[in-house]
Structure 1
Amino acid sequence: MTDSAHIASGHATRPIGGGGGKIFGFPLRGFGLVSSLLLSFASALFTFCVTTMVAIFALLIYRANGHAAVDMAISYRDFGFPASLVVLAIALPLFLTLWIRAKIMG
């Protein structure tokens, strides 16, 4: 049956994905609690790794230009960890809100 036949017969169809929007092609609807928590912490971990890597390379370039030795702990203590906490503070409420909204509407 086509969509118009479903609608005419009283069987309304919903689009795949539920029309909840997408980020990078991933639907923002249908996450469970565990999935929401996993995505929040995974995004924070990814941010920590990338920010720490960029900070390490920046410190290496700084040292290669003739400056004094630098403690590499700065890269994760002052850059990676705070950046991951910011992303976690944004991602956790976002994904939990999406989960709660799906529970209420679903």
Structure 2
Amino acid sequence: MSRIRVVSAAVAASIGIALAWSPVAMAQTAPDVAASTPKEIRKAERKAARERNNAELKALEKQGYQPAGNQINYPQNIQEAQRKVDASKAAQGTAASAP
């Protein structure tokens, strides 16, 4: 009977220690970057990302991709437009760097 009490006391003590240390283990020490960033900076970052996305979409549309068009060959048509965009960027990069 006393052995059961010792075991149950040890289990209770283990659970108590685990519960006492769990809030300490869950505490975050790293600062939250998103919460400390001013609203204007986040807005500017979103605006810049939106401009990049729109520029990429315009470049794809210029190479023949139609997002609202026929989507039967969906992966192939956007991949082909992306290859064309990449090729034109590479050609512009080599032409611009050539003396």
- Give the structure-2-normalised TM-score: 0.31
Greater RCO, CA 8 A, separation 6+:
1
Q: Structure 1 length normalisation: TM-score?
A: 0.29
Q: Greater Rg, structure 1 or structure 2? A: 2
Greater fraction of residues in helix: 2
